[in-house]
């Protein structure tokens, strides 16, 4: 799965260590075994593995470390980056787009990319520095807790998006008093909160909200 990329990243270690053909083949074959984790957290795994490769000659311990890290890192990364941060950035970009901001797609990229870049780079540095304890850096980021907070902010942005869409298609609500409109969108926000707590993806809520409001705007 991700083994070829991992092997490519390990090649500089082989060159710097001056390994002969047999030793290099042994290391490359070891890292050609199945490996799969969240892409943004591969740097932390790679840093720890490279440091361990430099310190010991026991390939079994290296393999055990990779297997021990890749599962938890995959779960943490999926929950935060795919389940919270990317939807949050996308919703923010859509809100700006609905407000007529020309640079909304660029702002989405500017909003999303610094966090994965920091985790990738700092994760590798700390993984290499701490070796087996590199997981302490990832744990210190408190990504699961942050994921929950980001999801709640995403729900607020969904409410803003709903208001923005209704304003741009105001004729559909022209006969509805302002108080009822406020209650309607408060209900939409509360519904989004409830769906988030039920584990429904914020991206699915976004698509559903947009589709519903576009439908009633005709």
Both structure tokens of 76:
């943490």
* Domain-embedded: residue 78: yes
Phi-psi domain of 38 (left: phi exceeds 0; alpha: psi -120 through 50; beta: other): beta
Q: Check: pTM over 0.85? Answer yes or no.
A: no
Higher pLDDT, 162 or 84: 84
Backbone angles phi, psi at 37, to 5 degrees: -150, -175
Q: How far, in Å, CA of 74 to CA of 43, rounded?
A: 12
pLDDT at residue number 18: 81
Higher pLDDT, 198 or 145: 145
* Domain-embedded: residue 4: no
Q: How far, in Å, CA of 80 to CA of 40, rounded?
A: 10
Number of C-beta neighbours around residue 4 at 10 A: 11
* Domain-embedded: residue 125: yes
Please state the rounded mean pLDDT for residues 88-102.
84
HSE, CB side, 13 Å, CA atoms: give it for residue 208.
Answer: 12
| CA-wise closest residue to 161 among 83, 87, 111 | 87
Higher pLDDT, 128 or 171: 128
| CA-wise closest residue to 67 among 80, 55, 52, 54 | 52
* Domain-embedded: residue 143: yes
Both structure tokens of 165:
């869409």
If pLDDT is split at 50, 70 and 90, which confidence band does 95 have? confident
Q: Which domain holds residue 57?
A: 37-216
Q: How far, in Å, CA of 88 to CA of 153, rounded?
A: 8
Angle at 168 between CA 163 and CA 170, to 5 degrees: 85
Q: How far, in Å, CA of 125 to CA of 107, rounded?
A: 28
pLDDT at 64 over 80: yes
* Domain-embedded: residue 105: yes
Alpha-carbon torsion, ordered 137, 138, 139, 143, to 10 deg: 140
If pLDDT is split at 50, 70 and 90, which confidence band does 202 have? confident
Please state the rounded mean pLDDT for residues 51-80.
89
With DSSP H G I counted as helix, E B as strand and the rest as coil, what are the percentages for the chain, rounded to 5? 85, 0, 15
| Sign of torsion over alpha carbons 125, 127, 133, 139 | positive
If pLDDT is split at 50, 70 and 90, which confidence band does 126 have? very high
Domain count, the chain: 1
């Amino acid at each position: 799965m991700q083994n070829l990329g991992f092997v490519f990243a390990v090649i500089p270690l082989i060159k710097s260590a001056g390994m002969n053909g047999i030793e290099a083949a042994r290391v490359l074959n070891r890292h050609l075994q199945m490996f799969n984790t969240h892409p943004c957290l591969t740097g932390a795994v790679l840093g720890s593995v490279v440091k361990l490769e430099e310190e010991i000659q026991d390939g079994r311990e290296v393999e055990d470390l990779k297997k021990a890290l890749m599962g938890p890192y995959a779960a943490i990364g999926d929950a935060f980056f795919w389940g919270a941060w990317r939807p949050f950035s996308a919703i923010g970009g859509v809100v700006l787009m609905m407000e007529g901001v020309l640079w909304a797609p660029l702002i989405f990229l500017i909003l999303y990319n610094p966090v994965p870049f920091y985790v990738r780079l700092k994760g590798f540095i700390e993984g290499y520095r701490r070796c087996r304890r590199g997981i302490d850096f990832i744990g210190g980021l408190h990504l699961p807790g942050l994921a929950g907070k980001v999801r709640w902010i995403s729900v607020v942005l969904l409410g803003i998006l709903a208001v923005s869409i209704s304003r741009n298609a105001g004729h559909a609500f022209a006969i509805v008093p302002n108080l009822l409109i406020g209650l309607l969108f408060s209900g939409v926000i509360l519904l989004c909160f409830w769906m988030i707590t039920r584990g429904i993806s914020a991206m699915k809520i976004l698509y559903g909200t947009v589709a519903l409001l576009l439908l009633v705007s005709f």
